[in-house]
Structures are given as C-alpha cells and as structure tokens.
Amino acid sequence: MTETDLVIRNVQGLHVRAAGLFVRVAGKFKSEIFVSRDDREVNGKSILGVIDLAAEAGSTIRVRAMGPDEEAAVAALRELVDGKFGEEP
C-alpha cells in the first residue's frame, strides 16, 4: 500500500471540475484508490464520493492506493493536487 497526505492549494478547493480531474487521473490506474479526510473515506474513482469530502482550500486529504501501480497512482494524484489542478497560473 502507498499513501500520502496532500494539501489542497487551489482557492476553490476540491470542487466539481477539480474532482472530475481527480477521478479521471485515478481511473487511469489499476490500483484501488481511496481518499479520506478526517474520518471519512471514499472511493477515489467516484466523483460524487470525492465531491462529498468537501475538501476546501487549505484542507488535507489522505490518498491511499493498493495494487500493481499504486506508487505511480499516488505520484500522479500528488502532481495534480500540488499543481492546483492547472487552475491558477
């Protein structure tokens, strides 16, 4: 299992468009991916689940991946989140 904590840095937080990008990246991997915030954990490939976390700007989410490409999956999601979903120049 690979896991990491990520801080949401874009002003709008993990809103619908960002959540869409998140699950699209997650969906590229074979591994099972879970995202949690506080004590709630959701399927990282479910956009409703990710939206439901309501992770606003400044909050921390934990990404957990299990499977053959778990490290690459976590790295790709880290890139997306750290890059503020490509939103802010």
Partner 1 sequence: MKFTGIPASPGIGAGPIVRYETEELKVRDIRIPPAGVAREIERFHAALDAARKDLSRIRDGIAAELGKHEAEIYDAHLLILDDPELKRAVEHGIRDEGRNAAFVFRAHMSGVAARLEQVNDEYLRERRADVLDVERRVLRYLLGDGPRAAVALERPAVLVAHELSPSDAALLDRSKVLGFVTEVGSRGSHAAIVARGRGIPAVVSVRGLMQRVKAGDTGVVDGFAGEFELNPDAERRAFFDARRDALADEERTLAGIHDQPAATLDGRRIELAANIELPAEAEQVLAAGADGVGLFRTEFFYLGRPELPSEEEQYAAYRGVAERLAPRPVIFRTMDLGGDKVASYLGMTHETNPFLGWRGIRFALHHPDLFSTQLRAIYRASAHGRVRLMFPMISSLDELQRANGLCGAVARELKRTRVPFDPELEIGIMIETPSAVWMAEELARHARFLSIGTNDLTQYTLAMDRDNERLAHLYEPLDPAVLRSIRHTVAAAHGAGRWVGVCGEMAGEPANAVLLLGMGVDELSMASYDLPRVKAAIRSVRAGAAEAVAREALLQSSAEDVKAVLHRALDPVLPGFLSARRVGA
Q: Report, as residue numbers or ranges, the catalytic residues.
A: 15
CB of 55 or CB of 65, closer to partner 1? 55
- Are 41 and 34 in contact by the 8 Å Cβ rule? The answer is yes
Site for partner 1 in 25-54 (CB under 8 A): 25, 42-43, 45-49, 51-52, 54
Please tell me whether residue 74 binds partner 1 under the rule CB under 8 A. no
Site for partner 1 in 49-68 (CB under 8 A): 49, 51-52, 54-57
Taking the C-alpha atoms of residue 56 and residue 28, their distance in angstroms, rounded to an integer, is 25
Taking the C-alpha atoms of residue 49 and residue 2, their distance in angstroms, rounded to an integer, is 20
Three-state SS at 74: helix
Please tell me whether residue 2 binds partner 1 under the rule CB under 8 A. no
Q: Of 11, 7, 31, 12, whose CA–CA distance to 80 is shortest? A: 7
* Interface contacts to partner 1, rule CB under 8 A: 11-17, 19-21, 23-25, 42-43, 45-49, 51-52, 54-57, 75-80, 82-87, 89
